């Protein structure tokens, strides 16, 4: 893009270059594009009933902030869905206080008035992430801190959503997140997790313990979400968690690989998602069976098809009961 290019719609100074169309957009035109795309993708892919109550997992990062703000815009226009938000203190000394500062700034700036429920790993699970990371290092445990954190967070948000009458959980996973997760599970030959990666449905299998999860940002790249936050001047927490830096994971390698492909063509990541949607649609219209979950023998939550104990209970055994 030429540094002096102007918006293809109004002629103002370019703020963002849209790869899919090859069009430069000014700040205001980019905001309009983003918000329209969000509402269209919601209408096409993510069906919400008028009586739905959506629980938003709010970390304070750019994705969850953007997600909540655009769901709120939808609520203002359609009077649905009812929204609640959950923010969870993982017990990571370097992040949570700053997260909460940005979340409060966000609510102050946008004047969004919805229930905000606060929870913590310490109160719910029995240990902080700092304590668990220390135990991992001291005992040379073959456990990844990010895997532990994700499992506990997912369970806490699900439990809070159920207790507060939510019918769906909204997660701020963007296009990059889902493409990385999808490719990672393909490489692991994990069909069960591939099925649950779909951004608007878990599977054919109906599980009363786990609430349906929706991911309305699944067609937006990480860069698009970041620039939307910048354009709207939405406060968000941007520091990378230290644990993600200290515990190298396969996902990071996949991220680097996909980003390199993206430099050649923006379509690679989109094509991964489109392929996944097409496969899911064909399977939904067929008589083939989904990969059914087992139920954890300890808590009765679903777990993988070859497991009898879920990761949450396994981590409970390692970090709390041992």
Q: Does the residue 311 lie in any domain?
A: no
- Judgement on whether residues 163 and 61 belong to the same structural domain of the protein: yes
- Judgement on whether residues 156 and 172 belong to the same structural domain of the protein: yes
Is the separation of the CB atoms in 110 and 69 below 8 Å? yes
- Judgement on whether residues 159 and 29 belong to the same structural domain of the protein: no
What total number of domains does the chain contain? 2
Mean pLDDT of the chain: 90
Is the separation of the CB atoms in 86 and 119 below 8 Å? yes
The range of the structural domain enclosing residue 1 comes to 1-45
Q: How far apart are CA 41 and CA 218, in angstroms?
A: 9
Can the peptide bond before residue 81 be classed as cis, meaning omega within 30 degrees of 0?
Answer: yes
In this model, does residue 31 exceed pLDDT 70? Answer: yes
The residue that leads in pLDDT, 198 or 164, is 164
Q: How far apart are CA 110 and CA 100, in angstroms?
A: 15
pLDDT interval class at 305 (50, 70, 90):
confident
pLDDT interval class at 292 (50, 70, 90):
low
The residue with tokens 């895997």 is 147
- Judgement on whether residues 214 and 75 belong to the same structural domain of the protein: yes
Q: How far apart are CA 209 and CA 288, in angstroms?
A: 23
Q: In which element (H, E) is residue 121 found?
A: helix 121-124
pLDDT digits (tens, 9 = 90+) for 131-179: 999 999 999 999 999 999 999 999 999 999 999 999 999 999 999 999 9
State the pTM of this model.
0.92
Q: Does the residue 110 lie in any domain?
A: yes
In this model, does residue 320 exceed pLDDT 60? Answer: yes
pLDDT interval class at 247 (50, 70, 90):
low
CATH number (domain holding residue 217): 3.40.50.620
- Judgement on whether residues 82 and 196 belong to the same structural domain of the protein: yes
Residues listed for the chain: 322
- Judgement on whether residues 168 and 20 belong to the same structural domain of the protein: no
- Residue 205 has what pLDDT? 46
Q: How far apart are CA 34 and CA 216, in angstroms?
A: 12
In this model, does residue 204 exceed pLDDT 70? Answer: no
- Judgement on whether residues 38 and 55 belong to the same structural domain of the protein: no
- Judgement on whether residues 54 and 7 belong to the same structural domain of the protein: no
Burial class (CB in 10 A: 0-12, 13-18, 19+), 113: exposed
- Residue 203 has what pLDDT? 42
- Judgement on whether residues 6 and 122 belong to the same structural domain of the protein: no
| Angle between helix 62-78 and 27-45 (nearest 10) | 70
User: What is the average per-residue pLDDT within 180-193?
Assistant: 88
Q: Supply φ then ψ for residue 23, to 5 degrees.
A: -105, 135
Q: Does the residue 31 lie in any domain?
A: yes
pLDDT interval class at 4 (50, 70, 90):
low
C-alpha of 92 from chain center: 19
- Residue 166 has what pLDDT? 96
| DSSP 8-state class, residue 59 | -
Is the separation of the CB atoms in 169 and 54 below 8 Å? yes
pLDDT digits (tens, 9 = 90+) for 11-22: 999 999 998 888
* Neighbouring C-beta atoms of residue 42, cutoff 10 Å: 18
Sequential DSSP letters for 254-306 = HHHHHHHHHHH-THHHHHHHHHHHHHHHHHHTSSPPP-PPEE-TTT--EE-TT
- Judgement on whether residues 161 and 41 belong to the same structural domain of the protein: no
Which residues share a beta bridge with 89?
Answer: 120
Half-sphere exposure of 138 (CA within 13 A, CB side): 7
Q: Does the residue 184 lie in any domain?
A: yes
- Judgement on whether residues 166 and 30 belong to the same structural domain of the protein: no
Is the separation of the CB atoms in 143 and 127 below 8 Å? no
């Amino acid at each position: 893009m030429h540094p002096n290019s102007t918006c293809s719609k109004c002629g103002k100074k370019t703020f963002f270059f849209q790869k899919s169309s090859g069009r430069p957009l000014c700040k205001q035109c980019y905001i309009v594009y983003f918000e329209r795309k969000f509402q269209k993708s919601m209408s096409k892919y993510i069906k919400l009933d008028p009586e739905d109550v959506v629980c938003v997992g709010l970390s304070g990062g750019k994705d969850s902030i953007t997600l909540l703000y655009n769901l709120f815009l939808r609520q203002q226009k359609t009077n649905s869905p009812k929204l609640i938000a959950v923010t969870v203190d993982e017990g990571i000394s370097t992040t949570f206080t700053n997260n909460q500062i940005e979340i409060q700034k966000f609510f102050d700036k946008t004047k969004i008035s919805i229930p905000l429920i606060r929870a913590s790993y310490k109160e719910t699970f029995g240990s902080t992430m700092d304590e668990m990371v220390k135990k991992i290092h001291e005992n040379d445990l073959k456990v990844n801190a990010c895997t532990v954190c994700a499992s506990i967070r997912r369970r806490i948000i699900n439990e809070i959503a159920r207790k507060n009458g939510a019918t769906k959980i909204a997660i701020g996973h963007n296009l990059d997140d889902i493409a990385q997760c999808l490719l990672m599970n393909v490489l692991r030959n994990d069909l069960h997790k591939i099925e649950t990666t779909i951004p608007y449905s878990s599977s054919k299998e109906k599980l009363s313990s786990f609430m349906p999860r929706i991911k309305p940002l699944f067609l937006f790249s990480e860069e698009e979400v970041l620039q939307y936050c910048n354009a709207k001047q939405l406060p968000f927490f941007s520091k990378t968690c230290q644990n993600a830096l200290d515990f190298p994971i396969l996902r990071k390698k996949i991220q680097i690989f996909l980003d390199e492909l993206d430099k050649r063509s923006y379509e690679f990541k989109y094509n991964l998602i489109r392929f996944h949607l097409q496969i899911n649609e064909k399977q939904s219209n067929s008589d083939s069976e989904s990969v059914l979950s087992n139920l954890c023998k300890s808590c009765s939550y679903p777990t993988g098809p070859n497991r009898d104990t879920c990761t949450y209970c396994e981590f409970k055994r390692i970090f709390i009961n041992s």
